Amino acid sequence: MTADSQVPSLTLNDGNRIPQLGFGVFQIPPDETAAAVRTALEIGYRHIDTAEMYQNEAGVGQGIRDSGVDRGEVYVTSKLNNGFHKPDDARRAFDKTLEALGFDYVDLFLIHWPLPTLYDGDFVSTWKTLEEFKSDGRARSIGVSNFQIHHLEELARDTETVPAVNQIEVHPYFTNDAVRAYGIDHTILTEAWSPIAQGAVLTDPVVGQIAQKIGKSPAQVVLRWHIERGDIVFPKSVTTERIKENFEIFDFELGDDEIDALTELDKGEAGRTGPNPDTFDYIPK
Ligand SMILES: NC(=O)c1ccc[n+]([C@@H]2O[C@H](COP(=O)([O-])OP(=O)(O)OC[C@H]3O[C@@H](n4cnc5c(N)ncnc54)[C@H](OP(=O)(O)O)[C@@H]3O)[C@@H](O)[C@H]2O)c1
């Protein structure tokens, strides 16, 4: 199986293309990251999602080099850490991200969190700094993560560039549909983080019944739900069999009833596994 034959690409609002399925590396220890990334690339993944906060950008770069796959064939995303929102700090942090990866560009660079209670609520100057990285070509595309609708409205009011993506928590227990709908209306693609809710949705009886009926695993059913809703996903695993399983989601389709049954599992705010972006203010030491 190759990435070319299986994984659809979506077109971003700046004309660049992104593979709809990737591999996430959150919580993969730095010394295990290169091996996991290499395994994912050998299976066929061509999109890796990392962040400075994950402390494993160096492992991502190493894994790509170890795999023998050309840098140009792999879509690499990283993110600005929370302590670096001031423009000069963001410039230094972006240089360090490229240095850690060992590449002279990233395909996509994101503001990791809006942090509206910090920096006097100013993420606009941070976004304008990311616009510089896009202009100089070191970030092919730029986007945001964990932005609520009102944060996106503020960027739309005060800046020139519409984010290419908004990477937000989405899974059947937290469908986050209002933020997704804003994205659809404003050419911002949604990237769904924790797409299987770190495993929490896999034991849901509705997921289990659909999986049994169509002869696929619970994880495959949930990842397919994301794909058919048009979102970008990058499940994380350090287990080779699961990395393979999560890649094999392009040889079946869900029916409308199955999509609806999964969407109806939404618990609203109670379904979040992660922090609320309106109050999250964590700055790593
Ligand atoms: N922007 C943000 O703020 C943000 C926040 C969170 C995540 N993310 C991104 O989204 C990516 C994915 O989210 P995530 O890592 O939080 O969670 P996830 O992908 O929803 O779930 C990962 C967990 O599920 C297990 N798993 C994976 N595939 C499985 C399968 N087929 N069957 C059973 N269990 C399976 C993994 O176990 P093993 O590894 O032990 O196999 C791991 O414990 C991250 O890696 C990161 O790139 C971004």
Q: pLDDT per residue over 152-207, tens digit each?
A: 999 999 999 999 999 999 999 999 999 999 999 999 999 999 999 999 999 999 99
66-113 pLDDT tens trace: 999 999 999 999 999 999 999 999 999 999 999 999 999 999 999 999
What's the rounded mean pLDDT across residues 131-159? 98
215 Cα: distance to centroid of ligand 1 (angstroms) = 22
**C-alpha pair distances (Å), 95 with each of 103, 133, 168, 207, 221:** 10, 10, 25, 43, 39
What's the rounded mean pLDDT across residues 121-150? 98
- Classified as helix, coil or strand, 78 is strand
Taking CA atoms only, the protein residue closest to ligand 1 atom 41 is 237
Q: Which of 193, 217, 222 to mutate to test the pocket of ligand 1 (most atoms within 8 A of CB)?
A: 193
Q: How would you label 54-76 residue by residue, b for 16+ Cβ within 10 Å and e otherwise?
A: bbbbbbbbbbbbebebeeeebbb
pLDDT of residue 168: 99
Atom of ligand 1 nearest to the CA of 113: 3
Q: Which amino acid, 64?
A: I
Atom of ligand 1 nearest to the CA of 199: 24
Taking CA atoms only, the protein residue closest to ligand 1 atom 5 is 193
pLDDT of residue 5: 55
pLDDT of residue 190: 99
120 Cα: distance to centroid of ligand 1 (angstroms) = 32
Name residues contacting ligand 1 (CB within 6 A): 24-27, 49, 112, 145-146, 167, 193-199, 202, 219, 234-239, 242, 245-246, 274
> 105 an active-site residue?
no
